[in-house]
Structure 1
């Protein structure tokens, strides 16, 4: 654990001293240049001593009448700069322990409010909604995101530099909604203990956005230009007046108890019935108001959602997203060079085997937050020996130095050690940067970023580099980018993810998205062209792919599109695309594929989307069909079905793949819901079912019941025609409790 000690020393050196933190003088409005930029400003109202508050969604407490409202939202869509058809008022108040928000969302047709889902953290693509962001450090790069709908859904996320967004963060806050003849009102309470913030900041960045879904109308308090938006904190307004507040001791203790029953009669070797009961502990402590430490012991992920299956017809691995809470909390502090073709830290390398099955995690420690102008992320994890797999120690350290308004320079280091093994420790280190502005040519966005990474292989770094750069122009009417990268043959970060090695890549793209003014049906056209050229290290082209597309979307939210992809591929190795179907090395292929797609608006009771692509594919042809169906008969009841089918005819052989998915989501209210997820694919021939029940007893206190069952189909190969036998099954219950000091 020598390197763990060095990491710990680096943490200590990166922290501001306690004395310095105590002596730091608050920055006044006259000192901070942001107050000279003419931003919209609102003042938070402080509750009087002993003034009562009842969380009921009615906004009838006297302090709401005293609070200064944020009004006069500005339309972003469908009429840029127009006056919203429905008015919104936002009031903010606070006392020593909590931030309060009261929202009045007027609606002239309250019986037409849309709220199809109530499940915590669900993406609101079909509902009316109110969203807000808060930059509690006033660094104009990071912050918190929240959203609600008229039926009480609560969602939140942590935002990082460059637009990164971690929706898996579950902050402890509460809210109530009332629907009435005037529209809907929201009453929200966010404990200051939930937020990291700079107590010396003269203001917080803040912004609000309202969606009226039936009109496809978007309106913001500020930053309404389409090159700006809610999540771009450099365009946010200001919230002033918050002072003399408390984060308490800054200590959250979260014990859990869990029970498991599992068996795997169909695995090789088979595993009999096993029963276990576990207890564990998560501890969160704010070392400073800006910096949070997290300790986990005997970590359990029983409540984790199952991965969504994918059929892979490429030569390269698929990256599945992280879904475990411990690794997701504070995850944006570890982000590195967004959009790069390699990832030096991919947390699924810890505690999961190559099939995604969980391994024992004995414990871990994490530090995330801000120290002065630095964003800091440090992670140490120890896994236990499990079924012949040796225990390992993992370490990650990430630092970003914020410069200018939207830019940073950073570095990352990762380390992996197999305990009791002769295998050398593996190290990865790298640097990255992002230079960004939202005032290019007046009000346009422009970004330049780059990275260099290296890792050790048996103590050597020969041919183990990855490097690249990106120039991006991400704007509404015109957008484009140029990406250049190189990944050498021995680049293999022990905690990272690399799809492809030994290549150089050049990828320009350009997009044009006009919005016809006054058109009764069409909201926006999109036309785009992209080129990806990949060479080997001798600069011989091995892949060249054009992506040409056009799309039109309507005011109602429907869309239709068309595209084609002329492609050249030179195989540098045998490619087994399906059992018994092998494309030989050294062969080159020219082919073109065509695609059409369409989708109806998600707000509809029945929403349908689909695509069909056809054309050449290596030595033959491929037809791909994708169909999705969503049913929302009433608020809280949703059913989503999907079918993906590939029919491939090659000179070396023919095959067909099928993937089916059905998700049934039943929500009794925003705090009690169950999700059934059923999947089958013809490649693995595994039919899987998972049901997850969650009861949020109170914010921070949860009960989970989870059952998962996988069946293996016989060799007949088509769903329904073969006998299914149990591969494995498991059941778990977990109760977690949070005590805040």
Structure 2
């Protein structure tokens, strides 16, 4: 009998060739609490990061952090203390990050919301409704970077920019932070004086993470069921709950690729109005909306048969996005999403379409999470205007579970109306207390989408359905998952995203992640295997993939590498053209084996490298791929990122090569001022793109942007001919009532 390679490795681990330790399953720890001390009415804290006001001494600090890694359950090697005070208008955190080697801090990043895998950092989460299902995430580093996100619905929305302020001070003790969060920036129940709260600190040179509550590796900062309590907040003001944010824009653009060489100049203005009708709800009205400051999409080369998924980057749609999340985040890359906001105000080619106005209501009403959105787009460049409506409700049950529903509607303007609607239900049952502190969850959904009549009338012809279930035990030692779904051939959600129709899919997977006992070199091994089985609705095979991760090693240094072998069998249910002039026929069947090696050095290094090498079969031939990225952090605030991806494909029907290059330079003058230059080129479109984006945060909520974009076509006859170029200057100002 032959053993599967993954089973052999698991057996070796069990036999002791990979000596491992399994975290003891701790009993549920006593829930810690920290009390916020109210300041006298005439008291004032000057934000300079020094914590030198005597007022801070009135608060008892939260401390005694416990290591998550590397020594799970041991006291943190570098102490951290958090004091919390407040007045009628704002919450203040004073944080002392003591360090025995204070000159060895790492803080390369300064730009707001940059990822901090390279830096020391202090993070905290706040669950203002104490529902353990939603909350706010914040983080800072020794260079003063401010990062935040909204948590909820399985989504961590990092594009949310809350209005808050902070300053950092570095000294011979380590580094300290003073933080001010206005109460009007948070939704909460004013009748409750208990919030969920948690803190975590990373000392990057040691690759050490320590946390205040929830130190077991199955828990963590973002699982609010494991958070502590913040008590004592009473009689505070959220103001009128009204923010007015007008903008002014000056823009010039030309399109030499379309024969328009002269610059067309344009000025416009608009406004966003934010209002909280209750302490838990937030509404937004946007008029004459513009997204000129939005960062450019990161290009991808698509060698699959399905559409690529590009994330939303526009502020209006990102604000409150977790309240519209539907279904399970499990299920791989064939996404079924009834609401994908990039369907609104963007053409299929990604060109912006005018938005006349939009309104949105998100938040909590009792035990319900609610989201409502309505947007009207104007006729633009021959594209008909439309109205989009989305409604989403989730009722929270137990500690981490819910049942919910969603409804979407798309109404084109004009006489030829083809109204399209989608409706569905979903649920989540979850606990983090299974067998002590294990995570266990199950989710399911059902969706129905109307299909418009062929004559373009409003009466639907029946439409199609999609439904699915998932079950998972996502834990540190064992991560076991199962996902199944079906998508009918006629299922086409008008404001959604579906990569494939007319199929069934089943995806079981299991990962075993032992940690070597007492190793100073290796932090964690991982071995996994997974099956991806896709059939048509008659259960005839469309695709079968078996992935075996032979070895995944995470080192104590933060370096890592893994090796994966995949076997794939596929039958084409439609002709496929991977490159111009090469078409694979309907009904053709292929079976191939692919090997993949990934290696990555620690992001804390001055020069960090990441490499992915892949070789093996590809339909009727072979494909060799190499993706290499380099990040240079010359000094805090000066970062250069370069990457290349090359795919060489040789098929019986022909051969081709694709190339993708990217170069990004970031000059982060301070946490408030940054200039980012982004260059991209891919051989498929033969377009070289450049975006230069300057942002100056005048104060939290008020910004100045200057954005220049230029695209060139790599024409064989005349190299790099300008296709289009535009420059935009935008000023946004927030006034709070």
Return the TM-score normalized by structure 1: 0.93
The CA deviation string for residues 650-703 of structure 1, in whole angstroms up to 9 with x for no partner, is 000000000000010001100000000000000000000001000001111100
Please tell me whether the aligned partners of residues 665 and 673 of structure 1 are also in contact (alpha carbons under 8 angstroms).
yes
Aligned to 2:411: 417
- 1:148 maps to 140
Q: Distance in 2 between matches of 1:270 and 1:423?
A: 34
Instruction: Tell me the alpha carbon deviations over residues 200-237 of structure 1, each in whole angstroms, 9 at most, x when there is no partner.
Output: 22300000000000000000000111100000001100
Cα distance 1:239–1:263, how it changes in 2: closer, same or farther (>3 A)?
Answer: same
For residue 288 of structure 1, give the secondary structure of its aligned residue in structure 2. coil
Residue in structure 2 matched with residue 15 of structure 1 by the alignment: none
Deviation >6 Å, runs of 4+: none
- Aligned pairs for 1:427-438 (under 5 A) are 427-438=421-432
Alignment of 1:329-478 (within 5 A): 329-339=319-329, 341-458=335-452, 459-460=459-460, 462=462, 464-478=464-478
Matching of residue 73 in structure 1 with residue 69 in structure 2: no
Query: For 1:220-278, what per-residue CA distance to the aligned partner results, in whole angstroms no more than 9, with x for missing partners?
Result: 000111100000001100000000000001100000000110111114x7575311101
Q: Name the structure 1 match of 2:520.
A: 520
Which residue of the partner structure matches residue 87 of structure 2?
95
Match of residue 627 from structure 2: 626
Residue among 254, 265, 274 paired with 1:263? 254
Once the two structures are superposed, residues 498-520 of structure 1 have per-residue CA deviations (whole angstroms, 9 ceiling, x without a partner) of: 00000000110000011101112
Answer yes or no: is the 8 Å Cα contact 1:138–1:201 preserved in 2. no
- Contact 1:426–1:457, Cα closer than 8 Å, also in 2: yes
State the 1:367 CA deviation: 0.1
Deviation at 1:38, TM superposition (A): 3.4
Shift of 1:397: 0.3
Partner residue in 1 for 2:574: 573
| Cα RMSD for the two superposed structures | 1.1
1:49 is matched with 41
Rounded to whole Å, the distance in 2 between the matches of 1:656 and 1:685 is 13
Distance in 2, matches of 1:172 and 1:211, equals: 24
Contact 1:174 1:699 in 2 (8 A): yes
**Aligned mates of 1:141, 1:434 — CA distance in 2:** 11
What is the Cα deviation at residue 107 of structure 1? 0.5
* Residue ranges of structure 1 left out of the alignment (5+ in a row): 1-35, 717-721
Aligned to 2:21: none
Contact 1:255–1:282, Cα closer than 8 Å, also in 2 = yes
CA deviation after TM superposition for structure 1 residue 443, in Å:
1.4
| 8 A contact 1:284–1:294 mirrored in 2 | yes
State how far apart, in whole Å, the 1-side matches of 2:563 and 2:41 are: 63
Residue number in structure 1 paired with 2:171: 180
- 1:276 pairs with 263, 266, 278, which one? 266
Cα distance in 2, alignment partners of residues 244 and 489 from structure 1: 56
Equivalent in the alignment of 2:585: 584
Cα deviation 1:498-547 (Å, max 9, x = unaligned)? 00000000110000011101112101001111110000011001100011
Aligned counterpart, 2:559: 558
Q: Distance in 2 between matches of 1:202 and 1:155?
A: 26
Deviation of residue 159 (structure 1)?
0.3
**Counterpart position of 2:186:** 195
Task: State the alpha-carbon separation in 2 of the partners of residues 413 and 373 from structure 1.
Answer: 19
* Contact 1:384 1:390 (C-alpha < 8 Å) held by counterparts: yes
- What is the 5 A alignment of 1:175-254? 175-254=166-245
TM-score, with length taken from structure 2: 0.94
Question: Does 1:699 pair with 2:689?
Answer: no
Contact 1:705-1:732 within 8 A present in 2 as well: yes
CA distance in 2, matches of 1:462, 1:513: 47
Taking a change above 3 Å as real, the CA distance of residues 421 and 244 of structure 1, as seen in their structure-2 partners, is same
CA contact (8 A) 2:451 2:463 kept: no
Shift of 1:461: 5.9
Between stretches 36-45 and 543-552, larger displacement belongs to 36-45
Question: Is the Cα–Cα contact under 8 Å of residues 328 and 470 in structure 2 kept in the other structure?
Answer: no
Structure 2: where are the runs of 5+ without partners?
Answer: 1-27, 453-458
Structure 2 CA distance for aligned equivalents of residues 421 and 697 of structure 1: 47
Instruction: Map Cα deviations across residues 124-166 of structure 1 (whole Å, 9 max, x no partner).
Output: 11000000000000111100000000000000000003x3210
Determine if the alignment matches structure 1 residue 297 to structure 2 residue 298: no
Size of the aligned set, in residue pairs, is 699
Q: Partners in 1 of 2:415 and 2:654 — Cα distance?
A: 44
Distance 1:152 1:72 in 2: 24
Matched, 1:723 2:709: no
